[in-house]
Amino acid sequence: MSQSPSEVNIFRTTYHEDRYEQIKSRNMVEEKHWMYQNDTYPEVTNILKKQKLIYFNDKIQPVSLDLIWEFYANALRVTSDEEDPTGNESFVSWVRGKVIKYDGKTINNVLKCKFYDSVCPFAEMKRSDKNYWPYTDMKNSLIRPGHDWAPTSKISPAKIMVVDLAPIPKALAYFIHHNLSTNRNGSELISERALLLHQILHQKQVNIGQIIAADMDDIAQSPKKSLGHATVIYLLCKKAGVPDFSDSLMLRPAAPLNAHWMKERTVTDDLPRPLRQPRDREGSTSSPHQEAQPNAAETQPPQPPPIDENSREYRMQMSQFCVMQDFCFQYGLSGRVLTHQTDLWEEAQRFRDRFSGPPPAPHFGQFTFPWYF
């Protein structure tokens, strides 16, 4: 007979018990599965099969929030004078009196995606010098024509805007952000995740368990990162013999990836946007925004005179645009809406790139974003 929750130590130490309330206040990253529909988009299905992700994809389900909170509250490694039933080991948590191991090998086991190779190509490339990553190949296989890596102050490319991805890479980027290497915002694909996506698209076997375990441990040790991997936690606890949580609120998966999602959230017939170019951070003004050339049949309406980019009016207006940009990413507006606002989007992103980070010295008349009036 299973023990009742009142008969077991729910928390490893009093410190972990205190941390439970903080864990409950964090945001959640809902999982998102790929729905097979009459063999639509067989490329995605074949990639999931190659990476042995079919079982995991089919197992994504509602999971008790209490189970998730308890797992992450007890997964933090701390130094304490109290007796710790887990021995404060790495990749180990504690749920209802059961030790829960969440290392890569254990996760591969419960997800039935065992990794047999001695070396993971993604892990090897990730440990190498970033200056020698295949950025050109990544751009050609991931990004839509007419688009490029997002400009940053770094020497090597650092991120891709998800709205700029080609349809199949975009669907898999969502799968990665929700299920493998979680990112609640999901608006940007950083270079490490872009490398992972590139490896998956080229059907190179990657160590899925290792990737998920590393992300779960980052969440557990972080003071604020959003919680994810609900189904993995459920399967790990089930393997360890943790009883089902009754009368608990459930975290349900997000809307699935399917043909309808691909139609609504990917755009392939829009005009290419001009490539984003890094701006000179030391200049007093940015180079003017370059508009896409219209077709011969199109007529251009008269354009208003440009606003001085050092004026207070411009800074206030662009600050509002940046808020709108974050709102679109946060609430998942459709790709068609985002693409319709191309010019506004470009202006907001250019404004972020110009004013993010410490200002150059001297910076007469310039303010660092955000401003406090």
**pLDDT (tens digit, 9 = 90+) per residue, 248-302?**
899 999 999 998 898 888 755 444 555 545 544 444 344 444 444 555 444 455 5
Q: Which of 12-16, 132-136, 248-252, 335-339 has the lowest mean pLDDT?
A: 335-339
The b/e string for 21-38 (b: 16+ C-beta within 10 A; e otherwise) is eebeebeebbbbbbebee
Whole-prediction pTM value? 0.70
Assess whether pLDDT exceeds 80 at residue 240. Answer: yes
Res 345: pLDDT: 60
pLDDT band at 25 (very low <50, low <70, confident <90, very high): very high
* Token pair recorded at residue 114: 């065992």
Query: Using CA of residue 208, residue 264, residue 331, residue 140, what is the dihedral sign?
Result: positive
What is the average per-residue pLDDT within 321-327? 70
pLDDT band at 363 (very low <50, low <70, confident <90, very high): very low
Q: How, if at all, do strands 159-161 and 188-190 pair?
A: antiparallel
Angle at 202 between CA 260 and CA 167, to 5 degrees: 25
Tell me the sheet residues that pair with 99.
94
Res 316: pLDDT: 72
Res 1: pLDDT: 33
Assess whether pLDDT exceeds 90 at residue 122. Answer: yes
What is the average per-residue pLDDT within 64-93? 83
